[in-house]
Structure 1
Amino acid sequence: MTHPIMFDDADPVLRRVRTLALAFPGAAEKISHGHPAFFTTKVFAYYGGSVKVDGVYRQHERSVLVLADPHEREALLGEERCYLPAYLGASGWVGIDLDGDTDWDEIGELLDASYRRTAGPRRVAALDARAGSPAPGGS
């Protein structure tokens, strides 16, 4: 079954997420279930998600999904802007809504943490070897 495209490629928020995510060593983008997915050997971020409420899926079109550290995930889920995404939430993923007040440094840090959990030791070493380079996410 082919999933419909559920994003606008010209969306400036997606463009910002894309720039951050593709800055990681070996990162690439593919479409998965109608959403942009950023990956190396495994997916480390998705753009857009949903939650199931009373049997109906409510879309979070401008959000990023990351695989967070369990303690960080718990703290994030206590915030109004964060949600437990359908299907992926049970596997440790968390969704963060993005808007005009988004702290892009924080999003860069969350993408970095998710990348480190999924990318493998060689890519993480390549990331760490970027001498003097700021972590992706700068404003």
Structure 2
Amino acid sequence: MPEDPLPRLRELCTALPETSERLSHGEPTWFVRGKKTFVTYSDHHHDDRLGFWCAAPPGAQEALVAAEPNRFFRPPYVGHRGWLGVYLDVPVDWAEIGEIVTDAYRMIAPETLIARLDEP
């Protein structure tokens, strides 16, 4: 059985400035300053797949889902807002997942926190 991806995803999310985790709709969810969601884990919540949903830059959802539908999807509830679904029950490139998570954070976090990401 493949390794549980939740600890790795948690590590990526909580490494970002002023993030916190709590359950939302029964799933681990990461927030900026305890208020705004940027990543939600999806452990077979709406289908038989394991993955996560996250905020995404404009056009990213459409491009990634069209290019690799076996790895990316349009999530329910938030897909119409451009959020991206990422499957974790396929071979995962954790460096790429880190970039996706950071992009999600950049979409939600205030400028003062985003600036901290770019500090040397």
- For this structure pair, what is the TM-score category when the shorter chain's length is used for normalisation? 0.7 to 0.9
CA distance in structure 2 between the aligned counterparts of 1:100 and 1:91, rounded to whole angstroms = 25
Of 97, 103, 115, the residue aligned with 2:105 is: 115
Structure 2: where are the runs of 5+ without partners?
Answer: none
Task: Please tell me whether residue 58 in structure 1 is matched to residue 47 in structure 2.
Answer: yes
TM-score (norm 1): 0.74
Q: Please report how far the alpha carbon of residue 59 of structure 1 lies from its aligned counterpart in structure 2 after TM superposition.
A: 4.1
Instruction: Please name the residue that 1:27 is paired with.
Output: 19
Paired residue secondary structure (2:89):
coil
CA distance in structure 1 between the aligned counterparts of 2:43 and 2:77, rounded to whole angstroms = 10
Query: Identity percentage over the alignment?
Result: 37
Q: Please report how far the alpha carbon of residue 64 of structure 1 lies from its aligned counterpart in structure 2 after TM superposition.
A: 1.7
CA distance in structure 1 between the aligned counterparts of 2:40 and 2:29, rounded to whole angstroms = 4
Q: How many residues align?
A: 114
The answer to whether the Cα contact below 8 Å between 1:49 and 1:85 also exists between their aligned partners in 2 is: no
| Residues 35 and 101 of structure 1, relative CA distance in 2, 3 Å threshold | same
Aligned structure 1 segments of 4 or more residues deviating by more than 3 angstroms: none
CA distance in structure 1 between the aligned counterparts of 2:10 and 2:114, rounded to whole angstroms = 19
Structure 1: where are the runs of 5+ without partners?
Answer: 1-10, 52-56, 132-139
TM-score (norm 2): 0.85
| Higher Cα Rg, which structure | 1
Instruction: Please name the residue that 1:6 is paired with.
Output: none
Superposed CA deviations along residues 96-125 of structure 1, whole A, max 9, x for unmatched, are 101352011111001111100101011111
Paired residue secondary structure (1:25):
coil
Instruction: Please name the residue that 1:90 is paired with.
Output: 80
Task: Please tell me whether residue 48 in structure 1 is matched to residue 42 in structure 2.
Answer: yes
The answer to whether the Cα contact below 8 Å between 1:49 and 1:86 also exists between their aligned partners in 2 is: no
| Residues 118 and 49 of structure 1, relative CA distance in 2, 3 Å threshold | farther
| Residues 111 and 33 of structure 1, relative CA distance in 2, 3 Å threshold | same
User: Which residue identity lines up with residue 71 of structure 1 in the other structure?
Assistant: G
Q: Please report how far the alpha carbon of residue 71 of structure 1 lies from its aligned counterpart in structure 2 after TM superposition.
A: 2.2
